[in-house]
Structure 1
Amino acid sequence: MAITKALTAPLFTVVGATGGQGGSVVRALQASSLQYRVRAITRDASKPAANALKELGCDVLEADVKTADGVKKAFDGADIGFAMTLTDFTSPDFAEKEYAEAVLQIDAAKAAGVKTLVWSGMPHISNISGGKQSVAHFENKANVTTYARSLGGLKVIDVQPGTFFSNFLRHNAPRKLEDGSFVLTMAANPDTKLPVIDIDADYGKYVISALENGSVDTVLAAPEYITPTQVVEAFAKASGKNVSFTCVPDEQLQAILTKVRGEVPAVNMVAMFRAVREVGYYVGADLAPSNKILSTPARKIDEMLAANPKGVAELFA
């Protein structure tokens, strides 16, 4: 195991260690050929996920990284850090709040003398597309990357996660029709290119591979681009069911999301789908360089489904 208590090993602080991205980073550290001491940050050190991290050899630290005291505790003495924030659309000023939370982490890491900080960022859609499209929560995270790199003396690796495979089993799962068939509905075209990643299994691979490679500073964390047509074909193959795809107009999606989740998330999610359709999630960037650094390949859609038989069975019951 690469997770150790040896003081000669670098101390790696992982924010959000009991969540999808942070948890994946910890598992990738465990699989590494190099040794690390791991400080796993959580808001509740008593929950089962935190106990599981202790069993892996992590030092589990209870800290609220939305506070000055919390981030100081989190990064104190660390050599390497993984920082992330979750977008909370419940507030109209979500972007300002999330930016402030991210800067709090980055400033604490810098003050603590962290040498390398891996940040879960996103592409700046507006800048890259020449203003053709804009996605506020993507660009907010991109602005954090710019801020972190402006500080100097802190190496920043920006690992941008693709669209989560888990969404296809939960929020955006195929739904059953009266005739027993299933339909996947999205505000996308049948040939829209989606960079789908199994966050739990593979995001950490990109983080640790980038860290240990040492020559990359921006990573697009997804194995390949696939289309909604390919997604439903994979679902049909895995389930043995008839699965089709239907494009939902932006106006219809916004009305549905406004009713279910509120106006702010509705507006931002529709903007994201529009940008993905028209300029691309990563604005057409090649995924090959990011995947070449991996020692073991990330799962593709068929493998993602094969690794989640219970979720697939429940979805198509």
Structure 2
Amino acid sequence: MTISKDSSAPIFVVVGSTGGQGGSVVRAIQESSKPYRVRAITRDAAKPKAKELASLGCEVVEADISTPDGAKKAFEGADFAFAMTLTDFEVANPLDKEFADAKSQIDAAKAACAKTLIWSGATHIKDGSGGKNSIATFENKAAVTAYARSLGGLKIIDVQPGNFLSNYFTHMRPRKLEDGSFVMGMALDANTKIPLIDLEADYGKYVVAALEDGSLETVHAAPEYITPVQVAAGFAKATGKKVFFAPVPDEQLKAILTQTRGEILAVNMVAMFRAFREAGYYCGADLAPSNKMLSKPARKFDEMLAANPTGVAELFA
């Protein structure tokens, strides 16, 4: 079904509409059998991606959702909304900034009397691990979820994206060795179970399904758990190359990231990978209920690679 312009259709506000998560949500709305008017929020309506959204029938609204006036403009009249934030380690006090940006969106959605807010959150690792592990960025997003639910009168659905497939094409990409084989170095154990998602293709499916199904308050957006060894094997199968996994010690990861990205990010990343190894990305949550909602299954890893042959080939050139 196409995006509706009928004034009787509910307004669905999508933050981050020109990015990976928000763009995926817009595409999933477009594929829904139910009519929605889409208000696509962006900081720059002149972007090619913003113009593309307008051509699809979206109302493209330029707004800075980190400010009260911008958030009000974005969410005014909304029936449903998708809210998200990104952690910017380049600013002072990045977690405080991210929480404030999220709060701005939530308060505006509440003030607009929206029925449902879908929030791109994360698992509270400290609670889920009995205090043994903690990931500052995850706990921060979980605190946003708790704040939103404390308000009452606004239904909150926490749709937690899994580990992005794109990571394995960027900073976790295979590295070619002198003998022609490829190594995938990760600060994980061979048997660490990671929930992997092709964000742009599939994240929006979980968001729209969660809204339309309505049975889950927390959604784990990933089709399957996969280990680093299976990731390497999947690349090997897709390319015919020799690909193997090699664990990276925490100390080595911290040294590399401190030099290239700064100490704050480095400390958080080391804690994150340690938590993935010891507690699990979703602290062992069952993915079946979240995937049962989907009318069209999300791609599993082999299918993700098969859908991106050019990108895979470039990794192993």
- Range class of TM-score, shorter chain: over 0.9
- Residue in 2 aligned with 1:238? 238
1:1-317 equivalences under 5 Å are 1-91=1-91, 93-317=93-317
Which AA in structure 2 matches 1:59? E
CA distance in 1, matches of 2:310, 2:274: 32
- Runs of 5+ consecutive residues of structure 2 not aligned to the other structure: none
CA contact (8 A) 2:128 2:279 kept: no
CA distance in 2, matches of 1:309, 1:260: 30
CA contact (8 A) 1:161 1:220 kept: yes
Residue 216 of structure 1 aligns to a residue in which SS? coil
TM-score by length of 1: 0.99
CA distance in 2, matches of 1:187, 1:111: 43
CA distance in 1, matches of 2:46, 2:100: 28
CA distance in 2, matches of 1:73, 1:107: 12
CA distance in 1, matches of 2:163, 2:214: 25
CA contact (8 A) 1:92 1:264 kept: no
1:177-231 per-position Cα deviation (integer Å, ceiling 9, x unaligned): 1111110000001110000000000000000000000111110000010000000
CA contact (8 A) 2:65 2:74 kept: yes
CA distance in 2, matches of 1:267, 1:3: 43
Which AA in structure 2 matches 1:246? A
CA RMSD, Structure 1 to Structure 2 (Å): 0.8
Q: CA deviation at 1:136?
A: 0.4
Residue 254 of structure 1 aligns to a residue in which SS? helix
Identity of aligned residues (%): 70
Residue 140 of structure 1 aligns to a residue in which SS? helix
CA contact (8 A) 2:17 2:40 kept: yes
- Cα 1:253–1:138 change in 2 (3 A) is same
CA distance in 2, matches of 1:123, 1:89: 20
CA distance in 1, matches of 2:159, 2:214: 13
CA distance in 2, matches of 1:223, 1:55: 31
Q: CA deviation at 1:310?
A: 1.4
Q: Which moved more, 1:141-150 or 1:62-71?
A: 62-71
Residue 110 of structure 1 aligns to a residue in which SS? helix
- Cα 1:85–1:310 change in 2 (3 A) is same
Q: CA deviation at 1:92?
A: 5.0
Which AA in structure 1 matches 2:235? F
Q: Which moved more, 1:154-163 or 1:302-311?
A: 302-311
CA contact (8 A) 1:90 1:264 kept: no
Which AA in structure 2 matches 1:245? F
CA distance in 1, matches of 2:93, 2:41: 26
- Cα 1:23–1:191 change in 2 (3 A) is same
Residue 85 of structure 2 aligns to a residue in which SS? coil
CA distance in 1, matches of 2:69, 2:242: 53
- Cα 1:176–1:161 change in 2 (3 A) is same
1:134-166 per-position Cα deviation (integer Å, ceiling 9, x unaligned): 000001000000000000100000000000000
TM-score by length of 2: 0.99
